[in-house]
Structure 1
Amino acid sequence: MWAPQCCGASSGAARAALWGRPVRPAGYPRERPVDSAAAAHFSAMGVSVSLSAESLEVVPGEEAVCAVTVRNTGTVIDQVTVDVVGPAAAWSVVEPPTVNLYPGDVGEVRVYLRPPRASQPGAGPVRYGVRATSLEDPRGSATAEGVVEIAPFTELRVRLVPQISRGSRKGKHKVDVSNLGNVAVGTQIGAVDPDDALTFDVPRPAVVASPGVVTQAKLTAVPRSKFWTGQQQVKPFQVVVQPERGPASTVEGTFEQDPIVPRWAAATAIAALALAVVLAGLWFVLVKPAVKSAATEAAATEASKAAAVSASDTGNGSSSGTASDVTPSPSASTLAKPPKKAEPGSPGNPLLAPISFRIQTNAKPSNKFSPFVSPDQPKNKPLDVTDLQLQNPASDSGFLEIRRGDDIIYASGLDNFRDLPQAYVTPVRYAKGQQVTVAIKCSNPAPEKRPCTAAVTVVGRTA
């Protein structure tokens, strides 16, 4: 069969060039050679590890021991490091941590598992691993796995906050239940009083305390009897927390009961009463006699003055006067009497009560005056008239007079006004029993001869 030739190349090279494949340079090896010394070295190393027991049990706070066998399966001397991996590494110790082994030799180390007596780790199985690492080939480590069973335990710590409460009606507390164990525990909270003087209210008596958690419950101590006054009463009691398993935990508490009326209030009342007694004593012992003595001296002075005036008047009288003409001097007891209250309307007792009333007239035509008064004006009290308001809305004809007894205070013709105010700078005084009288002489013409209906409004002051 014919095959093309190119530039003297061999048939193989020619075919490669023809089909476009690259030509391997002369002397280039077909495969990368392997370092025979390195390959022999790695193949000569090896380590294995095994546990004496794959499952262990341990109580928190104590330890469990596991024997670990380490074998050098290689052909060179090696140093092997043993450690624990997983959650148990934090509370595990390996002794010794390293072993030197000849080829084919076996070494033994011990792993001590020591979980703490705490809420962590929790109760139950915990998986762990024991790792053996070769110094010559760190990548070529071996691991054996095991399981350690953590035993459950319960430990409660109870605290009462505050430990001592105080009040007259009740005392409030809080019960803190701390679970230091590694399992959840259901508890019942109660309280006992050795003297049966208290009752207790626990709104949530059943609580579940989780591991590592502080659970809180309210407790109120209420006294069975109350008292108003007296000394404070101290009443001890005991809080009991009973778990589902194990003994109960207790804590002591005290309720200091005060009287309903505090002692400071009673002391204040006694002090106020004592002060009132002292002030009353000072009044009767010091102040009242001094006032009485001053009044007596003043009365005696006035009596002496009156006697001197009387003697002077007697000496200046006619010689023919008899002893019966001499006015006896008033005694000190008479002068010491308080003066009588001034009459209403006098300078010492002015009229201050305001008053106003209206006098309406209805006089028939006549040649005589017809008097009119108001039933609203006081009859047995004095009256000071300060203002008058005269009104003649019907334009009546005639005459009007305002009288005080027989005296005419004001007079005017009805034709002179429709609405006329009259003010007095000095009030017009009407004595007790006198009345303001309006007299009308009506002169309305025929043929109607209608009556006169003028009116007067009186404004003033009375007693």
Structure 2
Amino acid sequence: MTTVANLDRISVEVTPGEEALCLLEIRNDGSIVESYVVEVVGDAAAWTTAEPSLISVYPGTAERVSLYFRPPRSAQVPSGAVPYAVRVTPTENPAGLTVPEGVVHVLPFVDTTAEIVPRTSKGRWGARHEVAIDNRSNTPVQIAMTGSDPDNRLKLGFEPETLSITPGQAAFVKVRAKPRRLLWRGHPATLPFQVVVTPADAPPAALDAATVQTPILPRNLGRLIAALLVLLLLGAGLWMALVREVKSLAKEVTAEQLAPIAQKADEANENAKRAVNAAGATTAPGQPTPSAATTVPPSPALPGVPAGASAFARRLQTTVGTNGTRSDQYTVPTGKTFVLTDIFLQNPQGDEGRLDLIVDGTTVLTVALNNFRDLDYHMVSPMEVPAGKVISIRVTCRLAGAALPGTGGGGQCRDFALLSGYHRNQPSTPRP
């Protein structure tokens, strides 16, 4: 072998962001002048420079090449031993290349940053903050969290209190700032505090923050109570006036409905008296007088139900599990027309989901279950459903509410619809 290459030291230590030097000696034992190409290979090649990278050596002499190790101060270059090799290739005799090997020890460094958000919070019972910690070191870092406030008016809690962060990663710590005493009335109070982030083998970082404690009772509570009392009194007065108006209207309606009945009863009594007088004129002395027959007028029809129609109500109900859909239906009987005047919906459990009212395949009403417990619809223009047509409700359960006592296990939506109105006979079609 005509080429000999040796490192002046096999092991080199270097701090990221700084520089370390190692010398490579190349000896030419051949008989001609030889040029050598020097290349660093391995993980250290990205931040290692050979100067010069091309060198000529006379026969029987030796020259030196400087190897400069300059790892960047970054988490991308982890601490520890990094093996490398130097490939020395003769240009005249490439087959005579030699590859000496060495190790670079990259020393650890600690570089962390921390930020607290929000810087200022607000709350009656306390507030929450979050500390973001970024590890820019090339080694894992142990972090300890502590805090204090100058007036000792806060209880500070951390979750977690200690943590380990890998190189190039970020971690988050929840901070709870709770006042030691409640503020019932008065002006909001600003309570400053400080969070200290302490990395192992590095100086701590102090983060300043504050929480604004607001009073539990608002400043204008007296005015609000007075306004509520005035509203209650006004509501009570309006309610009493409404009750009197309803009673008066009910009396008038009752009198109007009973007037024809009373008139018919008076006419029946008058006819009975005439019949008695006529019978008394033809009855012999000593014979009993026949009693007059009293005619009882028919009872009036229900309000809103036409003559010849019959009131009708049908309750539809569904029971379905979460994320399921179920329907219940009513089919109008043959020869009848169902006139729908009122719809009363019930959601006693407080289910969440959707309810659809479908008439003859057409959705006429859609409501969200979580918007009501009881819901009453009065049809200004009643809906007529012919014989054979279907009225149905379809319930899609998203989240079942708490089951009522005595209704079985939970986890199911239970919803109802009461359909009220009357049946009317359809006119018969004359035969040809």
Q: Distance in 1 between matches of 2:281 and 2:141?
A: 116
2:215 maps to 1:354:
no
| Alignment-derived partner of residue 183 in structure 1 | 139
| Residues 234 and 115 of structure 1, relative CA distance in 2, 3 Å threshold | same
| Alignment-derived partner of residue 388 in structure 1 | 264
| Alignment-derived partner of residue 367 in structure 1 | none
1:126 to 78, 82, 85: 82
Secondary structure of 2:99's counterpart equals strand
Q: Distance in 1 between matches of 2:65 and 2:171?
A: 44
> Which residues of structure 2 form unaligned runs of 5+?
232-250, 299-432
How far apart are residue 124 of structure 1 and its match?
1.3
Q: Is residue 78–residue 138 contact of structure 2 (8 Å, CA) maintained in 1?
A: yes
| Alignment-derived partner of residue 154 in structure 1 | 110
Q: How does 1:244-323 map to 2 (within 5 A)?
A: 244-260=200-216
Q: Distance in 1 between matches of 2:252 and 2:201?
A: 94
| Residues 182 and 456 of structure 1, relative CA distance in 2, 3 Å threshold | same
Query: Residue type matched to 1:192 in 2?
Result: S
Q: Distance in 2 between matches of 1:84 and 1:269?
A: 81
Secondary structure of 2:74's counterpart equals coil
Q: Distance in 1 between matches of 2:155 and 2:283?
A: 101
Q: Distance in 1 between matches of 2:257 and 2:296?
A: 6
| Alignment-derived partner of residue 114 in structure 1 | 70
| Residues 115 and 415 of structure 1, relative CA distance in 2, 3 Å threshold | farther
How far apart are residue 88 of structure 1 and its match?
0.7
| Alignment-derived partner of residue 181 in structure 2 | 225
2:275 to 398, 401, 413: 413
Give the count of matched residue pairs: 277
How far apart are residue 414 of structure 1 and its match?
6.5
Secondary structure of 1:94's counterpart equals strand
Secondary structure of 2:30's counterpart equals coil
Secondary structure of 1:182's counterpart equals coil
| Residues 415 and 156 of structure 1, relative CA distance in 2, 3 Å threshold | farther
2:138 maps to 1:201:
no
TM-score when scaled to structure 2? 0.54
Q: Distance in 1 between matches of 2:99 and 2:282?
A: 147
Deviation readout 1:35-74 (Å, 9 max, x if unpaired): xxxxxxxxxx943211001112222222221111011232
2:2 maps to 1:102:
no
Q: How does 1:71-110 map to 2 (within 5 A)?
A: 71-110=27-66
| Residues 453 and 143 of structure 1, relative CA distance in 2, 3 Å threshold | farther
> Which residues of structure 1 form unaligned runs of 5+?
1-44, 277-350, 359-382, 392-399, 403-408, 417-439
TM-score when scaled to structure 1? 0.51
Q: Distance in 1 between matches of 2:282 and 2:149?
A: 109
| Residues 179 and 401 of structure 1, relative CA distance in 2, 3 Å threshold | closer
Secondary structure of 1:226's counterpart equals coil
Secondary structure of 1:413's counterpart equals helix
Q: Distance in 2 between matches of 1:389 and 1:189?
A: 95
Q: Is residue 272–residue 294 contact of structure 2 (8 Å, CA) maintained in 1?
A: no
How far apart are residue 390 of structure 1 and its match?
7.6
| Residues 238 and 390 of structure 1, relative CA distance in 2, 3 Å threshold | same
Q: Is residue 187–residue 208 contact of structure 1 (8 Å, CA) maintained in 2?
A: yes
Secondary structure of 1:200's counterpart equals strand
Q: Is residue 21–residue 69 contact of structure 2 (8 Å, CA) maintained in 1?
A: yes
2:65 maps to 1:65:
no
| Residues 413 and 173 of structure 1, relative CA distance in 2, 3 Å threshold | same
Query: Residue type matched to 1:201 in 2?
Result: G
1:211 to 159, 162, 167: 167
Q: Is residue 356–residue 457 contact of structure 1 (8 Å, CA) maintained in 2?
A: no
Q: Distance in 1 between matches of 2:117 and 2:42?
A: 41
Q: Is residue 444–residue 451 contact of structure 1 (8 Å, CA) maintained in 2?
A: no
The structure with the largest strand share of the pair is 2
Q: Distance in 2 between matches of 1:444 and 1:129?
A: 149
How far apart are residue 139 of structure 1 and its match?
4.8
Secondary structure of 2:5's counterpart equals strand
Q: Distance in 2 between matches of 1:48 and 1:415?
A: 158
Q: Distance in 2 between matches of 1:74 and 1:112?
A: 28
Q: Distance in 1 between matches of 2:257 and 2:86?
A: 122
C-alpha RMSD of the superposition: 4.3
Query: Residue type matched to 2:178 in 1?
Result: V
How far apart are residue 105 of structure 1 and its match?
1.7
Deviation readout 1:89-115 (Å, 9 max, x if unpaired): 111122222222112220011111122
Query: Residue type matched to 1:352 in 2?
Result: E
2:122 to 155, 161, 166: 166
How far apart are residue 450 of structure 1 and its match?
10
Query: Residue type matched to 2:14 in 1?
Result: V
Secondary structure of 1:143's counterpart equals coil
Q: Distance in 2 between matches of 1:200 and 1:444?
A: 112
Secondary structure of 1:76's counterpart equals coil
How far apart are residue 235 of structure 1 and its match?
1.3
**Percent identity (aligned):** 32
Query: Residue type matched to 1:47 in 2?
Result: T
